[in-house]
Copies of this chain bind each other. A is one copy, B any other.
Amino acid sequence: MESSFTAGKSLDNDFRVFVDEYAHDSVDVVVRAANLGEFRTMNRGIAAAFDGKTICALSTPMGMGGIAVIRVSGPDAFDLANRVFSKDLAAVESHRAVFGILRNAAGETVDECLATVFRAPGTYTGENTVEFGVHGSTFIQTEAVRALMDAGCRHAGPGEFTARAFLNGKMDLTQAEAVGDLIAAEHAGAHRLAMEQLKGTFAKEITALRTELIGFAGLLELELDFAEEDVEFADRARFDQLLETLIARIASLADSFRKGNAIRDGIPVAILGAPNRGKSTLLNALLGDDRAIVSPIPGTTRDTIEDTCVLGSSKFRFTDTAGIRATDDALESEGIRRAWQTAKRASLVLYVLDASQDSVAEANAALNALEIGPETDVIALWNKTDLADAPALSGWESLSIAAAEGKGIEALKVRLEALGLTDDSESSIMVTNLRHYEALMESNASLVTTRSGLSNGIPGDLVASDVRQALHHLGTITGEIDPEDILDHIFSNFCIGK
């Protein structure tokens, strides 16, 4: 992205866009390129990513502060930084900070600042890097970036520093994506998942799976080479067993997505109940906010209203739904349809009952009629307990609240926090990224086809093609999708002199 701004204001906007997009688009550029098959021409090891230009950008949040950091990365980082800085940065050893003056093209002092030098390859991007620590005025931030651009730097695109780190082999794609997740993490759960992924735990598991699969594929390809000799290098029974194991492991990873995604983006909680039981009042009480419109008229809520809050170390995504009852009103019916949809997707349903109105029999009937998934928890909430005592309910977990008075809300929050914690196992790998989930599903589909192909005795070259598909999908997760992998493996492991 060649930046074309000139005025201070539009530069600010560019920064804002950059910062806003950072988390989500961080490696989209790379992922897109990888999916388009452009990946191989710019594979890791290539010194200069994309256009080989040296890039610069404000790396700290926009706004006023004590310090701001402006990062320069690329093959000409020292030369271009030298054009704005009073000391020769090419002569400074790596990981060392020097004090000097940053000047613009007109020779005017922009700031007195620290410049820290990082020499390739031991840097974040894998390229020569300079970080300027300037005074944190918006004016200086803008002018320092402008001075670097005048000196010949290109303004970095969203996430481009991290993209270069990936392209230069400093991290794999899952780690690059973890950087984006880490920056966007708002609570301990999301932070821990991103941190785990950044450490490469998930990537290691995927690589291990791929390695086993590559060994298998290598044997298959070898058979093809010796097809006329009718050799069977690969023991079919062992193959079948290996595939079974792989399919189970990948399926288990894919299964963790629902959980992992809930931790990252919020555990989905549906607030359900008959009309006028105080569902919207409950939502407002939980959020400490007038998020939903509350009225004594049954059926006030038609849209599903959603909002999140962090309780303990977990984020929750609450959805207030339309009251469930038999109705002829088309609009209300649509609302009720959506309420059921929400319930099915939720990890937890809070079913709101009215202690002053609903009988135990009615409550049980309603709870038993809930259309929910097998993994959805349910808590019955007896509301309006300021008007009447909550009846005892057997077979269902229940709590007493008086949402309008805020009574029982804290106890409910404590219960939710506890639910969040049990969802948050530290030991196992969790998939949090839709892209990873889809690749795992695709990969597994190919493996299932491979397995049935093997057992049906279809020709080896067709089986090999299915395995390659599975390998490809696994490879897209970490960014290793080079089909030469398979050949490499053959040549390195099976030196048969052919």
Contact = CB atoms under 8 A, between A and B. Distances in A.
Interface of A: 8, 19, 22-23, 57-69, 71, 95-98, 108-109, 111-112, 116, 118, 131, 133, 135-140, 143, 161, 179, 182-188, 190-192, 195, 198, 310
Given A58-B65, A60-B66, 7 more contacts: A57-B66, A60-B68, A60-B136, A95-B98, A137-B183, A137-B191, A138-B186
B62 A66 contact: no
Given A97-B116, A98-B95, A198-B112, A61 B59 contact: no
Contact of A140 (B65, B111, B138, B182): B182
Contacts of A108: 192
Most buried by B among A22, A59, A65, A182: A65
B69 A140 contact: no
Contacts of A137: 182-186, 191
Q: What are the nearest 3 A-B pairs in CB distance?
A: A61-B63, A61-B65, A59-B66
Contacts of A57: 66
Contact of A66 (B136, B183, B192): B183
A19 B95 contact: no
B60 A139 contact: no
Contact of A64 (B19, B97, B133, B136): B19
Contacts of A187: 139
Contacts of A61: 60-65, 68, 136
Most buried by B among A109, A184, A191: A191
Nearest to A187: B139
Given A95-B96, A139-B191, A63 B62 contact: yes
Contacts of A135: 179, 182-183
Given A137-B186, A139-B188, A191-B140, A19 B97 contact: no
A200 to B, nearest CB: 11
11 contacts: A19-B64, A57-B66, A58-B65, A60-B67, A64-B184, A66-B161, A97-B116, A111-B195, A112-B198, A116-B116, A137-B185
Contacts of A62: 61, 63, 65
Contacts of A67: 59-60, 69, 71
Contacts of A71: 66-67
A19 B67 CA distance: 11
Most buried by B among A58, A61, A96: A61
Contacts of A65: 19, 22, 58-62, 183
A498 to B, nearest CB: 46
A35 B239 CA distance: 85
Most buried by B among A58, A60, A190: A60
A135 B192 CA distance: 13
Nearest to A67: B59
Contacts of A64: 19, 22-23, 61, 183-184
Given A62-B63, A66-B161, A139 B186 contact: yes
A98 B95 CA distance: 7
A444 B67 CA distance: 38
B63 A63 contact: yes
A450 to B, nearest CB: 38
Nearest to A112: B198
Contacts of A98: 95
A185 B139 contact: yes
Nearest to A178: B135
Nearest to A93: B96
Contacts of A111: 182, 195
A196 to B, nearest CB: 9
A57 B19 CA distance: 22
